[in-house]
Amino acid sequence: MKRYNHILILIAAVAGVQVLTAVLGKQFYLTQLTMTAYYCIAIVGLTLLMGFAGQISLGHAGFFAIGGYTSAVLTTLDLSQFKDSSIVSLLAKLFIVTSRQDLYGGQVLSFNPWAAFIIAIGLTLVIAYIIGIPVLKLKGHYLAMATLGFGTIIYSIVLGTQRFGAADGISSVPAFTLLPGLAVSGNTEFRVRNYYLAWTLVIGVMVLLINLINSRVGRALRAIHGAEDAAGAMGVDTARFKLNTFILSAALASMAGVFLTHYNGGIGPSEASIMKSVRYVAIVSVGGMGSLWGTLIMSTTLTFLSLRGYFGTFDDAVFGAILIVIMLFSPQGILQFDVKALLKKLLRKKE
């Protein structure tokens, strides 16, 4: 089908890049490309919220962090001393809590990554629901500040709580074995496998979202974006559609957080920072608010360059500058940039 043409190109590109790195002997690029994939999932989810439902979120890193931290805490928690308590032994029987070896060879009794993943997503859904109901009633500056406030609260909780490792974050998070032989981990032995796993997830998310925006729901969202009152008059439950989109994009951010945390073997408070949220918004803006593919392309490029350290000490400044330049000259995104129109405008001014 026509709508999946781009997906085929993406699949070819993913495979092509892997082959290329193998031929050139630059497999180490795959590490950053894998991380990039997970950030892309969060950013594409935000595109759905900003570009299609028309709602800004300046606290999306908060959801990423909720996923990552929940999973990190649960999988590194040592329950050995409660081994004999009835709850823990019940959880152990259900394989929700399992025993594993830590780095130093000791036995640790902690949550199974699958269980932690499900709990993390569940927690995100609940928080997004509770936050979303009041927040999405707001508009414009108020919505921006409220989501910024949410992000700041998550950041200060993460930074101020010993259990979350405060400024150091949480490390030695175990691998997440999805299937036998397929684990999310930073072990270089599994680098290629993890690269394909991450990008398969991106492709899956893209397929789901492309389906969604081409469905009745996508049409309703664009209608809300175009004229909210008229959408309501045509029977679109605007509050519920906005809320569902918010929850969906929060869940995607959280999922990205869980996977990246397992891949990196840890998570730090900077993942929850406002600057991260702003960065996501910047990338969505550059990609063109209403374009999933535009966002995916820009997100891959910018995140990869940033992770490879090409922006040096100007990392944050680059994203700040991108925000301004895009919003000043081409609010429809860089791929829609109309050079002719700009030239015309400049020439007319001089006359």
Partner 1 sequence: MFLELFFQYLVAGLTYGTIYAIVGIGFNIVYNTTGIINFAQGEFVMLGGMIAVSLHSLLPLPIAIAAAVVLTMAIGALIEMTFIRWLVKPAVLRMIIITIGISILVREAALHLWGESVRSLPYFTGNEISAFSFGGVRVSPQVLWTLGICSVIVISLNLFFKYTMLGREMRACASNRDAAALCGIPTRNMVTLSFALAAGIGALAGAVVSPITQTSYSIGTGLAIKGFTVAILGGLGNSMAAVAAGFILGILESFSIWVMPTAYKDAIAITILLAMLFVRPSGLFGNKEAFRLKDF
Partner 2 sequence: MALLEVNNLSKRFGGLQAVKDVSFSVERGMIKAVIGPNGAGKTTLFNLLSGFAEPDTGEVRFRDAWIHGRGPHQIAASGISRTFQHIRLFSHMTALENVTVGRHVRSRAGFVAGMLSLPWTHREEREIREKSLNAMEFLGIAHLAHDEATSLSYGQQRAVELSRALAAEPEMLLLDEPAAGLNMRETADLANLIVRIRDRGITVLIVEHDMSLVMKISDEVVVLSYGEKIADEKPLAVQKDPQVISVYLGEDEC
Minimum CB–partner distance for residue 151 and partner 2 (Å):
24
Site string for partner 2, 245-284 (x = CB under 8 A): ---x------------------------------------
Strands (E), the chain: 97-101, 107-111, 176-179, 182-184
Which residues contact partner 1 (rule: CB under 8 A)?
Answer: 54, 56, 58, 134-135, 137-142, 144-146, 148-150, 152-153, 156-157, 159-161, 274-275, 278, 281-282, 285, 313-314, 316-317, 319-324, 327-328, 331
Give the orientation angle of helix 274-286 with respect to helix 60-76, to 10 degrees.
130
Closest CA to 255 of 155, 96, 125: 125
296 binds, among partner 2, partner 1, none (CB under 5 to 8 A by kind): none
Minimum CB–partner distance for residue 309 and partner 1 (Å):
16
Minimum CB–partner distance for residue 317 and partner 1 (Å):
4
Size of the site for partner 2 (CB under 8 A): 29
Nearer to partner 1, 5 or 313 (CB): 313
212 binds, among partner 2, partner 1, none (CB under 5 to 8 A by kind): partner 2
Query: Which SS3 state, helix, strand or coil, does residue 267 take?
Result: strand
Minimum CB–partner distance for residue 159 and partner 1 (Å):
7
Strands (E), 24-173: 97-101, 107-111
Alpha-carbon distance of 135 to 187, in angstroms, equals: 41
Rule CB under 8 A: say whether 234 interacts with partner 2: yes
Rule CB under 8 A: say whether 186 interacts with partner 2: no
CA distances from 50 to 19, 46, 54, 63, 145 (A): 35, 6, 5, 15, 15
Rule CB under 8 A: say whether 219 interacts with partner 2: yes
Minimum CB–partner distance for residue 195 and partner 2 (Å):
25
278 binds, among partner 2, partner 1, none (CB under 5 to 8 A by kind): partner 1
CB-based contact 45:249 (threshold 8 Å): yes
Alpha-carbon distance of 37 to 252, in angstroms, equals: 12
Nearer to partner 2, 112 or 245 (CB): 245
Rule CB under 8 A: say whether 230 interacts with partner 2: yes
Which H or E run contains 130? helix 113-135
Query: Which SS3 state, helix, strand or coil, does residue 121 take?
Result: helix
CA distances from 185 to 106, 108, 174, 262 (A): 20, 18, 8, 6
298 binds, among partner 1, partner 2, none (CB under 5 to 8 A by kind): none
State the residues that interact with partner 2 by CB under 8 A: 208-209, 211-212, 214-220, 222-223, 225-227, 229-238, 244, 248, 290
